[in-house]
Amino acid sequence: MRQIAIVGSGPAGFYTAEAALKQWSDDVRVDIFDCLPVPYGLIRSGVAPDHQSIKGVSRRYEKTSLNDNVRFIGNVLIGKDITIGELQELYDAVILATGAPNDRTIGLPGEDSDNAYGSAAFVGWYNGHPDFADLDPDLSHDTAVVIGNGNVALDVARILAKTRDEFGGSDIVTHALDILDTSKINRIVVLGRRGPHQIAMTPKELGELGHLHLASPHVDPADLPDQSEDESLEPGQRKSVTHLRNFSALTDADREGKSIKLEFDFFASPKAIIGKGKVEAVEVERTRLENNRAVGTGETYTIPAGMVVACIGYQTSPIPGVPFDEDAGKFKNDEGRVDTGLYCVGWARRGPSGTIGTNRPDGFGIIEKVDQDIDAGGGKKGYDGFDVLARERELNCVEFHHWQEIDKAEVARAREGAPREKFVVVEDMIEAARRN
């Protein structure tokens, strides 16, 4: 019997578990650990609350969890409650699927100002992640600057632009909905240091900006390359750029009744966040492209703004005892191999790129490597050994049936029309888990 520990219960963790079951069927035991008492990682706290259809993939992960050979063990922080070395003693393979939950720092003067956030914090706030539930952003000013031209920047800009009604059917947490509802923001500037052809926004997500109740996207036609140059783009990117072209052609009549300006500022690199302790403006340098890189032109200007959200990518949390590549913000690895019996997968392996589905081949790929590296297993204690340690240390572990209780309680307390109202405090999750 092979004993496999997967650390992290997001998409990478669950696809890896699925692959392990496929590879070894009944000859494997898979324990999936998570530091939170709730599973699904980025599906729960990263995917935008108004993108419920994407969150539907968790039903597939639930099926994996309900397999007799799989166990979810939540509320255990690997590296603190139990070390990586201890886990390696207990399992034939330890696979780190911890994602990239931390913000990459942008390194701007004023970055630490009040009301300047990274996207992990801001997205975590509106998605009810316990670490960020208390963020309490101030939206009482008229302008927000969103840095970055990826899908997360789109998510943040769209969430800031939506009305209360537009969150119908979403699982945005009520603390965020109530603050967004009182927002005075009527200008959202999305800064891209390169141009329209270099955006990392996918067409479906970009197209949504054209259908908001109160917000209208603005693109300066002068920023768009000659249309003939779109031919060189791959089809998805061409569709995204077509959306930008359509936005640039919107007329005042098209924008009738739209009081929120969602402005794409291309060739615009942030230089400093200005303010006395709190964001008051962003200093920006105009750029031009040289060999596809943004190069400053020396021309600067200032955008008065009360909030900044930097959506420039994420990094993995280091774990004591696991070699870490500080520059790349992920574990040091050779195609997923970290050390004997230690592996990483998903964003913890390759950095924060790709879609949820990209993690499926990644999970299957890592299990192939584990299969090459370990024999039939045997001798390792797996869960029984973990259970001894957990009792000795009085760990308050949460299993999948506990999560099902939390799930039921969240669904039961949902506001009208919402699929659930998430618990945002770990103790409240645990209380709900133990209730029955």
Summarize as ranges the residues that interact with ligand NAP (CB under 6 A): 106, 147-153, 155, 193-194, 198, 200, 202, 205, 269-270, 294, 311-313, 352-355
Q: Is 74 left (phi over 0), alpha (psi -120 to 50) or beta?
A: beta
* Both tokens assigned to 170: 């979403």
Judged by beta carbon, residue 36 or residue 311, the one nearer ligand NAP is 311
- Three-state SS at 272: strand
Min dist. Cβ of residue 261 to ligand NAP (A): 21
Residue 432, C-beta contacts closer than 8 angstroms, at least 6 positions apart: 405, 406, 409, 410, 423
Strands (E), 42-171: 70-73, 93-96, 102-103, 116-118, 143-147
Nearest-Å Rg of the Cα atoms of the chain is 23
Q: Under a CB-based contact definition with an 8 Å cutoff, are residues 17 and 133 in contact?
A: no
Q: Closest Cα partner for 287 from 232, 230, 223, 241? A: 223
Min dist. Cβ of residue 291 to ligand NAP (A): 13
Task: Find residue 4's DSSP bridge partners.
Answer: 30, 93
Min dist. Cβ of residue 305 to ligand NAP (A): 15
Spatial separation of the C-alpha atoms in residues 307 and 142, rounded to whole Å: 9
**DSSP-assigned states of every residue in 373-399:** HS-S--S--THHHHHHHHHHTT---B-
Judged by beta carbon, residue 198 or residue 396, the one nearer ligand NAP is 198
Judged by beta carbon, residue 313 or residue 336, the one nearer ligand NAP is 313
Min dist. Cβ of residue 234 to ligand NAP (A): 14
Spatial separation of the C-alpha atoms in residues 315 and 301, rounded to whole Å: 30
What is the residue type of 191?
L
Min dist. Cβ of residue 51 to ligand NAP (A): 6
Judged by beta carbon, residue 10 or residue 352, the one nearer ligand NAP is 352
What is the residue type of 32?
I
- Three-state SS at 342: strand
Judged by beta carbon, residue 155 or residue 362, the one nearer ligand NAP is 155
Min dist. Cβ of residue 166 to ligand NAP (A): 17
The number of angstroms, rounded, from the C-alpha of 8 to the middle of its chain's C-alpha atoms is 14
Residue number with the shortest CB distance to ligand NAP? 150
Judged by beta carbon, residue 141 or residue 193, the one nearer ligand NAP is 193
Alpha helices per DSSP H over 196-346 = 203-207, 235-248
Judged by beta carbon, residue 167 or residue 400, the one nearer ligand NAP is 167
Min dist. Cβ of residue 9 to ligand NAP (A): 18
Min dist. Cβ of residue 242 to ligand NAP (A): 18
DSSP letter assigned to residue 196: G
A 10 A CB-CB count for 293 gives: 11
Min dist. Cβ of residue 75 to ligand NAP (A): 26
Judged by beta carbon, residue 74 or residue 128, the one nearer ligand NAP is 128
Judged by beta carbon, residue 23 or residue 198, the one nearer ligand NAP is 198
Min dist. Cβ of residue 274 to ligand NAP (A): 16
Judged by beta carbon, residue 71 or residue 197, the one nearer ligand NAP is 197
Min dist. Cβ of residue 310 to ligand NAP (A): 8
Spatial separation of the C-alpha atoms in residues 121 and 232, rounded to whole Å: 36
Give just the sign of the alpha carbon dihedral 230, 232, 237, 238: positive
End-to-end, the C-alpha distance of the chain in Å comes to: 33
Task: Find residue 250's DSSP bridge partners.
Answer: none
Spatial separation of the C-alpha atoms in residues 207 and 154, rounded to whole Å: 10
Judged by beta carbon, residue 311 or residue 418, the one nearer ligand NAP is 311
Spatial separation of the C-alpha atoms in residues 197 and 225, rounded to whole Å: 8
